[in-house]
Amino acid sequence: MVSRKEAITVKLNQVTEDVLKVIDSYGFKQEGAYNLRLNGMAVCHGDSRHIAIVKKTDLPGIDIRISSEAQNEQVHIPVVMSEPGLDVVYNDFYVEDGADVTIVAGCGIHGEGCSETRHDGIHTFHVGKNANVKYVENHYAEGNGTGGKILNPVTKIYVGENSVFTLETTQIKGVDSTKRETFVELGPNAKLYVTEKLMTHDAQHAISNMEVKLNGEGSSARIISRSVAKGTSNQIFHPKAIGNNACHAHVQCDSIIMDKASISSIPEINANHIDAQIIHEAAIGRINDEQLIKLRTFGMTEEEAEAVIIENFLN
């Protein structure tokens, strides 16, 4: 059990409330363990019996300490930026042996001006043995501002023996430029499940680099990436699975290309052990014409039918 402080409920404005609704699909409340970072400042924060959030003293950001006693618990740490500027934050998660926790993060930008709004979240997960961690991260930007809306997350994940780590990351819309860097190291019998969903439109750019080292005997990884590129947007995926022990990995990247968009998929599979079994599949193509025709016979416009197909593809 970790120490607990009394939380003070803070009144949030409508823009912040609206952005939170989009980026926190579990529903953000000022209850339990939570930390809301607004325009580079922690504006409200609470601990729970088994989860303590401690402000860092050396760097901007927080340490989130999740005790073994946390079972089927949640912690919410959303970031909202409604003013331009650069916000860099370092969050470290310490998950004790046997904990079972869902961490709901995400960043939403509301940009009205002509200046750039950028958030770089550097998240590091130190996961003990026999733990079960689900990390959900939604990225979203809105607003009529012409200033770039930029999100460059760095995610480092160290998974201990017999632990399961599930990473669900979604770029919903509105993000002009993103560069994701994800590093994972898996211990013995550790399991990684990654689902990455990404949608770009207009002249947006997205780069996603992911490196998964299967170091432990019996470790496994399943990485699913689904993306849609519209307009003149450009996406580059570079997932890398490195089998250093007896392990299984399956990487699957599926992309839909529309309009004048372009997508590169550069998966790398690397087997350094005779019992490393690694499979990769990737496909890039346009929207399924038969599905389009079928939906249009139900009376949908082309745009409506495309929207339904894309939503299905990403879900």
- Sequence-separated (6 or more) residues with CB below 8 Å from residue 207: 178, 179, 180, 235, 236, 238
The radius of gyration of the chain from alpha carbons, rounded to an integer in Å, stands at: 20
Least CB distance to its own copies at residue 256 (A): 10
| CA dist., res. 3 & res. 23, Å (int) | 29
Query: Does the protein bind its own copies through residue 27 (CB under 8 A)?
Result: no
Q: Are 292 and 309 in contact (CB under 8 A)?
A: yes
Query: Does the protein bind its own copies through residue 51 (CB under 8 A)?
Result: no
Greatest alpha-carbon span in the chain = 61
Least CB distance to its own copies at residue 284 (A): 4
Which H or E element spans position 290? helix 289-297
Stretch that binds its own copies, among 57-65, 131-139, 217-225, 284-292 (CB under 8 A): 284-292
Strands 33-38 and 79-81: parallel
Interface with its own copies (CB under 8 A), residue from 68, 130, 177, 277: 277
Pick from 254, 231, 133, 135: which is nearest to 190 by CA? 133
Nearer to its own copies, 17 or 275 (CB): 275
Least CB distance to its own copies at residue 245 (A): 12
Q: How many residues bind its own copies (CB under 8 A)?
A: 32
Nearer to its own copies, 101 or 247 (CB): 247
Binding flags for its own copies, 52-71, as an x/- string (CB under 8 A): --------------------
End-to-end CA distance of the chain: 37
Nearer to its own copies, 164 or 241 (CB): 241
Region 235-274 residues binding its own copies, contact defined as CB under 8 A: 243, 255, 257-274
Query: Does the protein bind its own copies through residue 293 (CB under 8 A)?
Result: no
Pick from 8, 56, 65, 60: which is nearest to 39 by CA? 60
Placement of tokens 């809306």 in the chain? 149
Query: Does the protein bind its own copies through residue 281 (CB under 8 A)?
Result: yes
| CA dist., res. 23 & res. 222, Å (int) | 24
Least CB distance to its own copies at residue 280 (A): 4
Query: Does the protein bind its own copies through residue 288 (CB under 8 A)?
Result: no
Strands 85-95 and 132-142: unpaired
Query: Does the protein bind its own copies through residue 282 (CB under 8 A)?
Result: yes
Nearer to its own copies, 44 or 246 (CB): 246
Query: Does the protein bind its own copies through residue 203 (CB under 8 A)?
Result: no
Which positions lie near its own copies, rule CB under 8 A? 243, 255, 257-286
